[in-house]
Amino acid sequence: MSEPLALAVDLGGTELRAAAVAPGGQILAQIDTPTDATAGPARVIDQIVALIGEVRARVPDMTFLGLGIGAPGPLDPVAGIAIAPPTLKGWRDVPLTAILSDRLAMPVMLENDANAAALGEWRFGAGRGLHSVVFVTVSTGIGGGVVADGRILHGQRGLAAEIGHMTITERGGRCFCGAIGCFEAVASGSALGWRADAATRPGDGSRLRALAGSGAVTARHVADAAREGDAQASALLAEEARWLGIGFTNLLHLYSPEAIVVGGGLSVALDLMAGGIAATIIERAMPAYRDVPVVAAALGRHAGLVGAASLVLEPGSTRIVEAA
């Protein structure tokens, strides 16, 4: 086995993960550590360099094509600059790829975390072999990445596919972004949890409150209760499926993907919502878009890591190609 590997880093505000990834997407070695997110970029970059050293030591005698990094946006994927990630204190216009390619003496490529996860699912997961894929994460918020005609869709400053903040309604509470009616504000796991919490009271005898104990009802409790057959939870999931279906219909009309791949925490309940999502799409999408499958992500929390690896394994698919 002398085929060169990729190194990959998934830089999160909580966890820093590094791996050695084979050309087929297999993770051959992985080490995770808490991100020292409040210590500033110099310290975190030291963490990355040290972690990469440890990963390399676990796969001795291998050669490496380079390092791919998934990091929180906003960032400039072409210039390789982390602009102002809100979860990393003190980061402001950090030329991450230049610094790390200097320290590690190898090519380094950068992509935002949602796009990295989209790349992972496209290259090695549920979107494998397709040409156009929309990847949506539904958890605390809603994020996503779009593969359009065989490339990640970047747009100006890499800011395309801010899926969670498309307006789809006048209902729901104010989104953290300040607007009303964002897809995320009505269809995220948080929004489902709020609806479930508001629909129940402590001690009301509901299955949801029994699962929640003394805490708030969350999307996870709704999914668990619905899977047990609880009618109230099933109704809440049906409403959630309808919101997701409305948003997904927009994504079909706007990007015309061959599949919508759903990841994030709430994707564990995708099977329970599939019928409701499909019914909403059939009701609302124009005929040519109705047959597009909505499928669960295949790689779970590894999507971003193997997607980051694909930045160096298959670099042509991720860069802006100039018009001829």
Q: Which of 158, 172, 189, 307 binds a second copy (CB under 8 A)?
A: 158
> Hey, what long-range contacts does 314-317 have (CB within 8 A, 24 or more apart)?
314/123, 315/109, 317/119, 317/123, 317/150, 317/151, 317/152
Answer yes or no whether residue 322 interacts with a second copy by CB under 8 A: yes
Give the angle subtended at the CA of 208 by the CAs of 207 and 214, to the nearest 5°.
Answer: 110
Q: What is the DSSP letter of 320?
A: P
> Which span sits near a second copy by CB under 8 A: 26-34, 156-164, 186-194, 213-221?
156-164
**CA–CA separation, 244 and 186 (whole Å):** 9
Which residue in 61, 148, 69 sits closest to 108, CA to CA?
69
From 19-27, 89-97, 229-237, 246-254, span contacting a second copy (CB under 8 A):
246-254
Should residue 278 be labelled a site residue for a second copy when binding is judged by CB under 8 A?
no
Please tell me the number of Cα atoms within 13 Å of 141 on its side-chain side: 12
Cβ neighbours, 10 Å, residue 225: 25
CB of 69 to a second copy, least distance (A): 20
Q: Which is nearer to a second copy, 32 or 258 (CB)?
A: 258
- Under the binding rule (CB under 8 A), the answer on residue 293 touching a second copy is no
Looking at 90, 275, 283, 293, which residue binds a second copy (CB under 8 A)?
283
What is the Cβ-side half-sphere exposure of residue 139, based on CA atoms within 13 angstroms?
Answer: 10
Q: Does 242 bind a second copy (CB under 8 A)?
A: no
Coil, strand or helix at 104: helix
Least CB distance to a second copy at residue 144 (A): 10
CB 22 within 8 A of CB 28: yes
Among 139, 199, 256, 265, binds a second copy (CB under 8 A): 256
Assess 79 for contact with a second copy (CB under 8 A).
Answer: no
Per CB under 8 A, 264 contacts a second copy:
no
**Residue 129 makes contact with a second copy by CB under 8 A:** no
Residue 142 vs 270, nearer CB to a second copy: 142
Q: Which residue has the tokens 């087929």?
A: 24
Contact positions vs a second copy (CB under 8 A): 74, 131-132, 148-151, 153-163, 165-171, 177-179, 181, 246, 249-250, 253-258, 283-284, 286, 288-289, 292, 314-317, 320-324
